[in-house]
A and B are shown apart, each in its own frame.
Chain A
Amino acid sequence: MSETGTFPVKRGLAEMMKGGVIMDVVNPEQAKIAEDAGAVAVMALERVPADIRKDGGVARMSDPEMIQGIQEICSIPVMAKARIGHFVEAQILQALDVDFIDESEVLTPADEAYHIDKMAFDVPFVCGATNLGEALRRISEGAAMIRSKGEAGTGNVVEAVRHLRSIIGDMKRLTQADEAELFGWAKELQAPLPLIQEIAETGTLPVPLFCAGGLATPADAALAMQLGADAVFVGSGIFKSDDPSPRAKAIVEATTHFRDADILAKVSRGLGAPMTGIGMDEVNVHYAERGW
Chain B
Amino acid sequence: MTIGVLALQGAFAAHQQRFADLGIDAPAVRTAQELDGVDALVIPGGESTTMSHLMRTNQLFEPIAARIASGMPVFGTCAGMIMCASDVLDGRPDQRSFGAADLTVRRNGYGRQLASFEVDLDVKGLDSSFHAVFIRAPLAERVGPEVDVLAEHDGVPVLLRHGACTVASFHPELTRDARLHQLFVDSLPASR
Q: Contact between B30 and A15 (Cβ–Cβ < 8 Å)? A: no
Per-position contact with B for A1-27: 1 when CB-CB < 8 Å, else 0?
Answer: 111111011001101111110000000
Kindly list chain A residues whose C-beta atoms are within 8 Å of the C-beta of B135.
Answer: 9, 12-13, 15-16
Residues of A participating in the B interface, judged by any CB pair closer than 8 Å: 1-6, 8-9, 12-13, 15-20, 35-41, 75-77, 94, 97-100, 122-124, 249, 252-253, 255-257
Q: Contact between B113 and A19 (Cβ–Cβ < 8 Å)? A: no
Interface size class of B (residues with CB under 8 A): 35 or more
Expressed in whole angstroms, the Cα–Cα distance for A253 and B9 within the complex equals: 10
Q: Contact between A256 and B113 (Cβ–Cβ < 8 Å)? A: no
Extra contacts besides A40-B46, A75-B90 (13): CB < 8 Å: A8-B118, A8-B175, A12-B174, A13-B116, A15-B174, A19-B8, A20-B46, A40-B47, A76-B47, A77-B113, A98-B112, A124-B113, A252-B54
Query: What distance in Å separates the Cβ of B78 from its nearest Cβ neighbour in chain A?
Result: 7
Residues of B participating in the A interface, judged by any CB pair closer than 8 Å: 7-14, 30, 45-47, 49-50, 53-54, 57-58, 78-79, 90-92, 107-108, 112-119, 133-136, 153, 171, 174-175
Kindly list chain B residues whose C-beta atoms are within 8 Å of the C-beta of A123.
Answer: 113-114
Query: What distance in Å separates the Cβ of A244 from its nearest Cβ neighbour in chain B?
Result: 16
Query: What distance in Å separates the Cβ of A147 from its nearest Cβ neighbour in chain B?
Result: 17
Expressed in whole angstroms, the Cα–Cα distance for A132 and B112 within the complex equals: 31
Q: Contact between B49 and A75 (Cβ–Cβ < 8 Å)? A: yes
**Option from A2, A40, A257 in Cβ contact (under 8 Å) with B118:** A2
Q: Contact between A20 and B47 (Cβ–Cβ < 8 Å)? A: yes
Kindly list chain A residues whose C-beta atoms are within 8 Å of the C-beta of B53.
Answer: 36-38, 252
